[in-house]
């Protein structure tokens, strides 16, 4: 522990302040109190320190009791109800620092981060950030550094395995140096990682800094500028990030951000820092620790400002004397309260003036003091204290970032104005992650037509020339826009990427995750030598020649920077890797073989109506004919006089016999006349309804006949995903461990759940790749669920396959990058540029357009062939044959009756009738002799004359109208 006292010589006299430094390990509070009391007895105007927090409260109690200003230079938890009147702290308030860190995290748009601290006070310092998840969309992991060890490699390895790329460290500058060295050995100093170091300083040896400080504003100093020291000084200017040696990390690509309170933009401050640096460079260099020699750290700058403020306040305080204070008397210093107010009040303190070329330093008595309402600009910038708590709540923080040229100021933060990120200064090299120009990237991909294919060539091809396809053209365009080079590597297991039951990834996603050196223990080797690398699981990889490599082991094991392939953007994958904006949109659909076209039947004219309808029409025809016959027999208005010219005739006839009724129905159905007209109202109703029925049937038949006969239908057993889910005859599946399989596995829709249950129950349903699934769809009764873009490509080149139904979902293909990759946004902008220039569409047309399948046939009506309507000719022929057979029967039957009546032989009668029939010129022949009739007076039964029509009755011109008479 160190205590710093400012004395003024003999007690009770006013003189120049004298610095007294005491170093004591705080073994007990009693020892500390005794030391402080001994110094107070000599006459003290202020106490600085101690550097250890465990003893701070004891010193503060003494200062409060004796009213001696207590100046603290380290972070200290300050309760809200603090009653320490004689207390000020030059270290910025932790609440404000925590707000600065949170503002930076929000500006970087981090969705997740890891906070690493070394002691419990770190949780208090970062309380605003730790409470952020409840107010902002940020996921935080909290980890603690090893307490009793400087070896942080186990913790770094755990964070690397957990893919924690955004890490906030709250630790001392010495621990930060060790973390960076070990992270380099672990392969974590790459562009995928972003480290933020929060602590401005952690005072361990304030007196060591003071030993070189010499209190320049209290004594005269002379020095000579050494040329070699000046060169080293210029090389280190601006490297204020905890005075760390960042030279090994400048070209690693790592994102390293920190905060700086040292006001190096002020010329006076810059001069003091240079003086300090050359003083320190003349001292013996410290052991290898990752820290730079000769660089002023924040703790020294705060101490300088603190001593300067107290000295200037003492010089301007009027009529103030210093008394010897005795702890056991409890008598306070009578000027303590006034002196404390001088320190806390807002004054413009003129910064120290130096004439370095003359080698002189002006004394404090010559410093001008102007009483204004402003703040003093010290080495650590603007200094103003809260009059109540004594805390430094108003200050400026520089945001510094590691570039290729070293640390560079990229922004500023203040409690009043918040975060303001400025542009990169001109003349400085850009950050390695700000541009892809001249970067060499490793690209992982998978063979998938037409995205990535082996180029066909007569000669042997090497490197990237081996591949062609849509993704290869896309990669070339991106490389042209962004200016990077690339090496294409096929994924080892040939898979896209899916999680197993243990949460482990495979395929291209795994290669993007394993882009670091997690497989190997940290090993430093000489370029060109042979080494043995011990694997974590006990395996070995010996004899690797490193002549073609540079750097550390992470260069050897880096697997992939980009995944350029038909990689579907999914929610699960987004948790493991980052994606660019989609370069192609698509959905899941069904690939199935085309159904065989049905050979047209000669009876195709029957297809417009189903067999059931044909049967119902036949039954309706029979039913209507029978009903018409019965109604006509019962209706008196259907009976009419057979001899209208013979008033005395008692014979009436009815045209609607059973056969005539059937003939009437047939004529109406065929849209032809039958010369039978119903006379009664009842029979006319039946006729009208039957005509309306036949109108609809014939019209529907005619309209449907055109579609059935002019368009050849291809009947498919499935038309959608629902049809697949409802049947088990056709087997279906997807590519194993692909996005389509994951979609059905995670889906909560009942149809898709049922389909996944079917696929998971049959191992043969899932295929290794698209080629295997396409082959099964061609040769077996199998339907492949796959992306619509691939289906479009396949069906253009295989005419036996087709897409069934529409899209089941909607998604997109994107370019995968490791989580936190700085390349994602650049690639997204380039993809949007290609989309606006219509180059993505041109590339798709180039690779999707096929020439194997003929153009789709014209769907306009075509001429009907005999194979489609030949059946109607068969029906016509059958009707003709039937009519001939009936005519022969009638001919034979009639001639037999004639032969019997004329008492001739049947053969002679047939011969005469055939001879007459073959004589085409003769139209008249003798009427056969009618049979003998027996007359009777009885009323002729109406059934006897059902089929009789008197000859010549239609030609009679009789005007007699007789009412029908019932038989």
Give me the mean pLDDT over the 175-191 stretch.
87
Residue 669 has pLDDT above 70, yes or no: yes
Output 275 or 97, whichever has higher pLDDT: 97
Are 826 and 482 in contact, with CB atoms under 8 Å apart? yes
Output 639 or 749, whichever has higher pLDDT: 749
Output 874 or 694, whichever has higher pLDDT: 694
Of 779, 809, 839, the domain-final residue: 809
The residues near 75 (Cβ < 8 Å, ≥ 6 apart) are 91, 94, 121, 125, 199, 202
316 shares a domain with 183: no
At 927 the pLDDT is 54
309 shares a domain with 270: no
Partners of 168 in the β-ladder: 115, 196
Residue 721 phi, psi (nearest 5): -65, -30
* Rounded CA separation 570/567 (Å): 9
The residues near 145 (Cβ < 8 Å, ≥ 6 apart) are 116, 117, 118, 152, 155, 171, 175
645 shares a domain with 696: yes
At 904 the pLDDT is 82
At 27 the pLDDT is 55
Domain that holds residue 743: 588-596+715-809
Residue 33 has pLDDT above 60, yes or no: yes
Residue 19 has pLDDT above 60, yes or no: no
Helix (H, G, I), strand (E, B) or coil at 532: strand
Residue 923 has pLDDT above 60, yes or no: no
Residue 53 has pLDDT above 70, yes or no: no
What is the CATH classification number for the domain harbouring 233? Answer: 3.40.50.2300
Please give the C-alpha separations between residue 321 and each of 60, 306, 334, 381, 736, in angstroms, as whole numbers. 22, 20, 9, 31, 88
Residues of 205-243 as b/e, b for ≥16 C-beta within 10 angstroms? ebbebbeebebbbbeeeeeeeeeebeeebeebebbbbbb
* Total domains, the chain: 5
Which range (263-267, 448-452, 587-591, 867-871) has the least confidence?
867-871
* Residues 171-180 pLDDT 10s: 887 888 889 9
Residue 50 has pLDDT above 70, yes or no: yes
Are 115 and 143 in contact, with CB atoms under 8 Å apart? yes
At 528 the pLDDT is 42
Task: Name the pLDDT band for 222 (thresholds 50, 70, 90).
Answer: very low
Which range (287-301, 413-427, 745-759, 901-915) has the least confidence?
287-301
217 shares a domain with 192: yes
Q: Tokens 């039978």 identify what position?
A: 676
At 295 the pLDDT is 61
* Rounded CA separation 860/563 (Å): 47
* Rounded CA separation 516/510 (Å): 11
At 872 the pLDDT is 53
Are 307 and 381 in contact, with CB atoms under 8 Å apart? no
Residue 211 has pLDDT above 50, yes or no: no
The residues near 465 (Cβ < 8 Å, ≥ 6 apart) are 455
* Rounded CA separation 265/277 (Å): 16
Give me the mean pLDDT over the 578-600 stretch.
84
757 shares a domain with 670: no
In a domain, 821, yes or no: no
**Encoding tokens for residue 863?**
């001429």
Task: Name the pLDDT band for 564 (thresholds 50, 70, 90).
Answer: very high
The residues near 552 (Cβ < 8 Å, ≥ 6 apart) are 184, 185, 187, 517, 522, 524
* Rounded CA separation 748/681 (Å): 66
Output 876 or 508, whichever has higher pLDDT: 508
Helix (H, G, I), strand (E, B) or coil at 210: helix
At 67 the pLDDT is 85
Nearest to 183 by CA among 206, 217, 160: 160
Give me the mean pLDDT over the 583-606 stretch.
80
Task: Name the pLDDT band for 301 (thresholds 50, 70, 90).
Answer: confident
Which DSSP string corresponds to 568-592?
B--HHHHTTEEE---SEEE-EEEEE
Residue 431 has pLDDT above 60, yes or no: no
Q: What is the pTM of this model?
A: 0.56
Output 740 or 227, whichever has higher pLDDT: 740
**Encoding tokens for residue 95?**
């609440």
Are 497 and 738 in contact, with CB atoms under 8 Å apart? no
In a domain, 431, yes or no: no
Which range (362-376, 451-465, 668-682) has the least confidence?
362-376
Output 357 or 790, whichever has higher pLDDT: 790
In a domain, 510, yes or no: no
Are 396 and 381 in contact, with CB atoms under 8 Å apart? yes
Q: Tokens 């670091």 identify what position?
A: 516
Residue 348 has pLDDT above 80, yes or no: no
At 603 the pLDDT is 75
Residue 432 has pLDDT above 50, yes or no: no
Give me the mean pLDDT over the 182-191 stretch.
85
User: What are the DSSP E strand ranges found in 497-538?
Assistant: 530-534
At 237 the pLDDT is 37
Residue 114 has pLDDT above 90, yes or no: yes
105 shares a domain with 161: yes
Contacts 24+ apart (CB under 8 A), 689-695: 690/624, 690/628, 690/665, 693/620, 694/668, 694/669
Are 293 and 284 in contact, with CB atoms under 8 Å apart? no
In a domain, 853, yes or no: no
CA 670 to chain CA centroid, nearest Å:
66
In a domain, 470, yes or no: no
**DSSP state, residue 88:** E
592 shares a domain with 618: no
What is the share, in percent, of the chain residues with pLDDT greater than 70?
Answer: 69
Of 660, 687, 710, the domain-final residue: 710
Helix (H, G, I), strand (E, B) or coil at 762: coil
322 shares a domain with 245: no
Which range (489-493, 534-538, 848-852) has the least confidence?
534-538
Residue 185 has pLDDT above 60, yes or no: yes
* Residues 690-714 pLDDT 10s: 888 888 888 888 888 777 766 555 5
118 shares a domain with 244: yes
At 477 the pLDDT is 94
In a domain, 493, yes or no: no
C-alpha neighbours within 13 Å on the C-beta side of residue 352? 29
Which range (524-528, 609-613, 675-679) has the least confidence?
524-528
At 208 the pLDDT is 41
At 918 the pLDDT is 64
Helices then strands (H, E): number in the chain? Answer: 28, 36
Are 324 and 43 in contact, with CB atoms under 8 Å apart? yes
CA angle 16, 21, 23 (to 5 degrees): 170
612 shares a domain with 704: yes
Residue 470 has pLDDT above 90, yes or no: yes
How far is it between the farthest Cα atoms of the chain? 181
* Rounded CA separation 107/127 (Å): 18
Ranges 437-446, 939-948, 958-967, most confident: 437-446
Task: Name the pLDDT band for 851 (thresholds 50, 70, 90).
Answer: low
Of 777, 809, 841, the domain-final residue: 809
* Residues 353-374 pLDDT 10s: 433 233 333 333 333 333 333 3
**DSSP state, residue 559:** -
* Rounded CA separation 187/520 (Å): 9
Output 571 or 710, whichever has higher pLDDT: 571
* Rounded CA separation 159/549 (Å): 26
Residue 445 has pLDDT above 90, yes or no: yes
At 16 the pLDDT is 57
Quote the mean pLDDT of the chain: 74
At 559 the pLDDT is 79
Nearest to 354 by CA among 237, 213, 220, 231: 220
Task: Name the pLDDT band for 838 (thresholds 50, 70, 90).
Answer: very high
The residues near 746 (Cβ < 8 Å, ≥ 6 apart) are 572
Strands 112-117, 166-170: parallel, antiparallel or unpaired by DSSP?
Answer: parallel
Which DSSP string corresponds to 705-720?
HHHHHHS-----S--S
742 shares a domain with 722: yes
At 82 the pLDDT is 61
Give me the mean pLDDT over the 211-240 stretch.
35
* Rounded CA separation 349/372 (Å): 9
At 311 the pLDDT is 82
At 617 the pLDDT is 86
650 shares a domain with 687: yes
At 562 the pLDDT is 93
In a domain, 826, yes or no: no
At 837 the pLDDT is 92
In a domain, 951, yes or no: no
């Amino acid at each position: 522990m160190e205590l710093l006292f400012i004395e003024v010589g003999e007690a009770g006299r006013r003189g120049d302040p004298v610095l007294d430094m005491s170093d004591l390990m705080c073994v007990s509070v009693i020892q500390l109190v005794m030391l402080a009391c001994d110094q107070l007895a000599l006459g003290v105007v202020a106490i600085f320190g101690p550097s250890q927090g465990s003893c701070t409260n004891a010193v503060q109690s003494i200062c409060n009791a004796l009213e001696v200003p207590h100046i603290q230079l380290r972070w200290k938890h300050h309760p809200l109800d603090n009653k320490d009147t004689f207390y000020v702290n030059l270290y910025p308030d932790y609440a404000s620092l925590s707000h600065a860190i949170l503002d930076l995290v929000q500006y970087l748009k981090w969705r997740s981060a890891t906070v690493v601290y070394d002691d419990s006070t770190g949780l208090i310092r970062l309380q605003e950030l730790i409470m952020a998840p409840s107010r902002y969309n940020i996921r935080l992991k909290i980890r603690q550094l090893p307490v009793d060890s400087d070896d942080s490699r186990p913790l770094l390895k755990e964070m690397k395995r957990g893919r924690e790329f955004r890490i906030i460290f709250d630790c001392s500058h010495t621990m930060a140096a060790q973390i960076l060295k070990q992270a380099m050995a672990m392969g974590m100093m790459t562009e995928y990682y972003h480290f933020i170091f929060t602590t401005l300083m952690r005072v361990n040896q304030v007196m060591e800094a003071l030993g070189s400080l010499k209190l320049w504003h209290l004594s005269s100093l002379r020095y000579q500028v050494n040329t070699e020291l000046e060169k080293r000084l210029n090389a280190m200017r601006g490297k204020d990030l905890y005075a760390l040696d960042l030279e090994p990390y400048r070209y690693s690509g790592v994102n390293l951000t920190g905060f700086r309170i040292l006001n190096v933009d002020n010329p006076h401050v810059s001069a003091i820092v240079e003086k300090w640096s050359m003083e320190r460079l003349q001292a013996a260099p410290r052991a290898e620790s990752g820290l730079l020699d000769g660089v002023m750290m924040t703790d020294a700058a705060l101490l300088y400002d603190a001593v300067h403020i107290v000295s200037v306040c003492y010089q301007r305080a009027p009529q103030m004397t210093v008394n010897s204070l005795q702890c056991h008397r409890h008598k306070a210093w009578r000027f303590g309260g006034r002196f404390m107010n001088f320190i806390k009040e807002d004054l413009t303190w003129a910064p120290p003036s130096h004439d370095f070329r003359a080698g002189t330093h002006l004394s404090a008595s010559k410093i001008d003091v102007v009483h204004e309402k402003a703040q003093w600009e010290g080495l650590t910038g603007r200094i103003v204290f809260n009059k109540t708590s004594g805390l430094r709540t108003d200050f400026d923080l520089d945001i510094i970032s590691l570039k290729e040229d070293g640390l560079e100021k990229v922004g500023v933060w203040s409690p009043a104005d918040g975060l303001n990120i400025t542009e990169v200064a001109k003349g400085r090299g850009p950050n390695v992650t700000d541009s892809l120009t001249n970067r060499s990237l490793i690209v992982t991909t998978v063979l998938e037509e037409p995205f990535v294919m082996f180029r066909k060539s007569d000669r042997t091809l090497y490197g990237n020339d081996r591949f062609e396809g849509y993704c290869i053209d896309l990669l070339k365009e991106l490389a042209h826009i962004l200016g990077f080079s690339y090496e294409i590597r096929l994924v080892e297991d040939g898979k896209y990427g899916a999680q197993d039951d243990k949460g482990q990834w495979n395929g291209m996603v795994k290669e993007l995750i394993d882009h670091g050196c997690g497989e190997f223990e940290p090993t430093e080797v000489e370029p060109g030598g042979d080494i043995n690398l011990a694997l974590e699981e006990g395996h070995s990889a010996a004899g690797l020649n490193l002549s073609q490599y540079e750097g550390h082991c992470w260069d050897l094991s880096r697997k992939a920077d980009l995944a350029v392939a038909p990689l579907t953007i999914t929610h699960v994958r987004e948790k493991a890797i980052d994606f660019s904006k989609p370069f192609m949109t698509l959905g899941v659909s069904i690939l199935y073989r085309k159904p065989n076209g049905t050979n047209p039947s000669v009876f195709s004219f029957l297809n417009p109506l189903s067999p059931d309808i044909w049967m119902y029409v036949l039954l309706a025809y029979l039913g209507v004919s029978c009903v018409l016959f019965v109604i006509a027999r019962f209706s008196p208005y259907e009976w009419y006089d057979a001899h209208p010219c013979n008033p005395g005739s008692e014979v009436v006839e009815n045209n609607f016999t059973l056969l005539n009724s059937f003939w009437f129905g047939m004529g109406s159905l065929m849209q032809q006349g039958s010369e039978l007209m119903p006379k009664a109202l009842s029979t006319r109703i039946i006729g009208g309804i039957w005509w309306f029925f036949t109108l609809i049937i014939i019209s529907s038949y005619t309209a449907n006949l055109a579609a059935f006969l002019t368009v050849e239908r291809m009947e498919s057993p499935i038309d959608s995903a629902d049809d697949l889910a409802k049947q088990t005859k056709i087997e279906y599946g997807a590519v194993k461990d692909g996005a389509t399989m994951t979609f059905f596995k995670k889906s909560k829709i009942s149809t898709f759940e049922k389909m996944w249950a079917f696929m998971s129950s049959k191992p043969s349903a899932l295929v290794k790749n698209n080629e295997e699934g396409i082959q099964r769809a061609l040769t077996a009764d199998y339907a492949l669920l796959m992306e619509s873009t691939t289906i479009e490509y396949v069906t253009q080149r295989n005419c036996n396959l087709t897409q069934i139904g529409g899209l089941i979902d909607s998604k997109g293909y994107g370019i995968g990058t490791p989580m936190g990759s700085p390349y994602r946004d650049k690639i997204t902008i380039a993809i949007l540029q290609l989309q606006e220039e219509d180059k993505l569409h041109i590339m798709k047309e180039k690779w999707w357009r096929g020439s194997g399948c003929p153009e789709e046939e014209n769907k306009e009506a075509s001429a009907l062939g005999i194979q489609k309507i030949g059946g109607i000719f068969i029906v016509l022929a059958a009707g003709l044959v039937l009519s001939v057979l009936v005519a022969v029967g009638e001919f034979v039957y009639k001639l037999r009756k004639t032969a019997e009546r004329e008492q001739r032989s049947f053969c002679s009668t047939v011969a005469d009738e055939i001879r007459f029939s073959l004589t085409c010129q003769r139209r008249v022949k003798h009427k056969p002799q009618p049979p003998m009739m027996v007359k009777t007076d009885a009323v002729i039964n109406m059934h006897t004359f059902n089929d009789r029509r008197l000859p010549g009755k239609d030609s009679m011109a009789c005007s007699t109208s007789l009412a029908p008479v019932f038989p």
